[in-house]
Amino acid sequence: MNTGPDLAHALRRSAELKEQLVAFGQGRSFERRLGALLSEAAHPEDSLDEETAIGVIDRFLLQYRLPDGNTVADRFVARRKDLHESDRQMVLAWRDPVEGLFEVRGKDRDSLLLLNLLDDLEYRTYSNAGRSTFRGLARGGFLSARLVALAPIPGTWLLSGTVSFYPRSAAPEIARAALGLATSRPELVFRNPAKIEQGWQRMREDRAAFAEFCGGDELVLPLAEAEGLLNAYYRHRQEAATAEQPIPARGRRRTAPELPVFELPPELADADTIGVIYDEVDGLNFYADYGTLRDLFADPALAGRRQHQGLLRTYVREESITPLPIRRLAAAHPETVDLVFRKVLRKPDFTWGEHGDALLRRRKPWYYENEPRPGVSVIGDRLSELLGAERC
């Protein structure tokens, strides 16, 4: 563990740079954008507590994307021509914080050894506010925090923004909260490369089970029928997982967490049909009026109808819709795909083979800019232990 003058200097310098970055981000250049974010985070009675405000400001400085794609941290480094290269690298490293719920695995006078219950990785963590930050925090306790790399010192991390501390007795609540985060924000889990491969394997297994239970990996169903089938599938998977658990000790029963009722997103409520596609890369997705779109590719004569024209244009133009459904239909209907797009786009020379990929990349650049990640999250070993202990 590095406790020498280099570390002490890096901690002092990180405090100075963070103070300067905060002042820069709260300047007039960013006043309107930051103000809007703070207003959005305010409680209904228009009050904004200090902890929430600090969290909003920290995310704004390090992660919020300005119109040119840069962060406030990028602008700060570009403006400050006087910064040493090590200072520049330190600030730029802060743009990729680690968010999580952490268990204290070790503690010394100046630092904590934290295990992130989400990504199952350990982080040697310091505070540039001084060692008093950790006073009263015992091994086995928990933190809710954001960490940023202390770039000049490999393997060291800093607390960033607000921190909440919890005693060891809060383990059941922390475990449930971590499970919720791992499920709703799998990108936090996949900071660990090992979890990415585990996620892909888990998703392959889940996709195969889905196709076997539902009769295929692509379905077109009315809304209520889709929800009913998916709830039945999740119950089936839960029952199978519970059956695989070790036989409990005498006097105890096998238990499984109660699954919430699955409901499709409200924006799909008015759709005549729901497309349910479990793709090997994009995972499980839902698409409004997918049956109507599939009819169009099966019968290009429908391209003359306003309803079908508008639907395909929506699928192409809407950024929130991935390229998956269009790619699927193009692959399933190679003999009609060119004719459909020529009629709807009014481009007589359009061919899917020559122009299709470029069309989707132009309309949905975000999809191609991000590396694919598994759609199934993975629970770390320690979190599994905590959840298992709670159910015993």
Cα–Cα distance, 180 to 269 (Å, whole number) = 25
Backbone angles phi, psi at 139, to 5 degrees: -60, 135
pLDDT at 49: 83
Class of the domain covering 98-186 = mainly beta
SS3 at position 346? coil
| Separation of alpha carbons 308 and 59, rounded Å | 42
pLDDT at 136: 76
- Least confident segment among 75-84, 148-157, 254-263, 350-359: 254-263
Rounded-to-integer distance, Cα 373 and Cα 365, Å:
16
- How many angstroms separate the CA atoms of 182 and 99, rounded? 11
pLDDT digits (tens, 9 = 90+) for 189-242: 999 999 999 999 999 999 999 999 999 999 999 988 999 999 999 888 888 776
- pLDDT for 82-95, tens place per residue? 999 999 999 999 99
| Domain locations along the chain | 5-93, 98-186
**Distance, CA of 355 to CA of 366 (rounded, Å):** 19
Ramachandran assignment for 145, one of left (phi > 0), alpha (psi -120 to 50 degrees), beta (any other):
beta
Residue 107: C-alpha distances to residues 181, 377, 385 (Å): 26, 30, 22
Length of the chain equals 392
pLDDT digits (tens, 9 = 90+) for 1-54: 555 558 999 999 999 999 999 999 999 999 999 999 998 888 666 677 888 899
Query: Is a pLDDT exceeding 60 seen at residue 392?
Result: no
Residue 52: count other Cβ atoms within 10 Å of its Cβ: 15
Strand, coil or helix: 371: coil
Residue 133 gets which letter from DSSP? Answer: G
Q: Which amino acid is at 339?
A: L
CA distance 118 to 174: 11
